[in-house]
Amino acid sequence: MHAARLSLEAAPLAGIPAIEPGADLAALIADAATRTGVKIQSSDVLVVAQKAVSKAEKRLRALDDVVPSDRARGLGAKLDKDPRLVQLILDESTDVVRAEHGVLITRTRLGHVCANAGIDSSNVPGGLVSLLPEDPDRSARHLRAQLRDRLGEAAAVVISDSFGRPWRLGQTDVAIGCAGLTPLDDRRGHLDSFGHELQATLLAVADEAAAAAGLVRTKEGREAVVVVKGLDRYVTEPDGPGAAALLRPREDDLFE
């Protein structure tokens, strides 16, 4: 129907300064858009780096303030990781999925399975680490509402982080939060070009949008926001189910 007109554009929003703890992200984004002449529209998707959201929400911890438990010390020794970092990872997690080969993979309290519960120390001042936002879907909804107030346009918001994969090297960006974007496009029941029902096609739209945005960030990771245009058909007026809809229910997990 609209096949010939589908196209995607992704570009970082220039002019966003380094995010300070407690910063007003919506104000910084709106200012940057105004100064650089970028028109943010309700059909756009803003992919915001998790680190920027974590900083704005003051989700930073000083390792010196952490007293590791015996369990954290044990895991730290086994994995050659700072036991204080291990303690923070355990505090943010419900389960340890794997702890081997120097890798600590956990299920976070929100249900994402990733290395180190998403905690890391790049792009934060020395001695500090950043935790994932407490509830990235809520963060996305909040940012979307604030941007709508400032810009009069209800662009969708995705909060992205880079996750590893069990059988593939390298990381890809995935959506840990979203608002106003259909996270999964259910193509089951549609007919393929031979008229058969399509099998097993449930496209992880929000994760692919995060991945597209990941390609236009630089190595130094300074771009807090990438504007993605062309996903109009997935942008919704309601905030929708968020990235929580992307989590496989635990009872279907074959790999825990």
For the segment 197-226, give every residue that binds its own copies (CB under 8 A).
Answer: 198-205, 207-209, 211-212, 214-223
Residue from 145, 184, 232, 241 that binds its own copies (CB under 8 A)?
184
Residues 19-38 that bind its own copies (CB under 8 A): none
Nearer to its own copies, 16 or 151 (CB): 16
- In 53-151, beta strands by DSSP E: 60-62, 93-100, 103-108, 113-115, 128-130
Nearer to its own copies, 196 or 238 (CB): 196
Q: Residue 180: left if φ>0, alpha if ψ -120 to 50, beta else—which one?
A: left
Residues 135-174 that bind its own copies (CB under 8 A): 162, 164-174
Binding mask 225-254 for its own copies (x = CB under 8 A): -----xx-------------xxxx---xxx
Beta carbons within 8 Å of 172's beta carbon, 6+ residues apart? 162, 163, 165, 207, 210, 211, 214
Q: How far apart are CA 161 and CA 116, in angstroms?
A: 12
Nearer to its own copies, 52 or 142 (CB): 52
Distances (CA, A) of 182 to 109, 147, 158, 191: 23, 19, 11, 21
Cβ-based neighbour number of residue 141 at 10 Å: 19
Smallest separation (angstroms) from its own copies to the CB of 99: 9
Residues 98-117 that bind its own copies (CB under 8 A): 98, 100-101, 103, 105, 107, 112-113, 115
Beta bridge partners of 162: 173
Residues 81-100 that bind its own copies (CB under 8 A): 98, 100
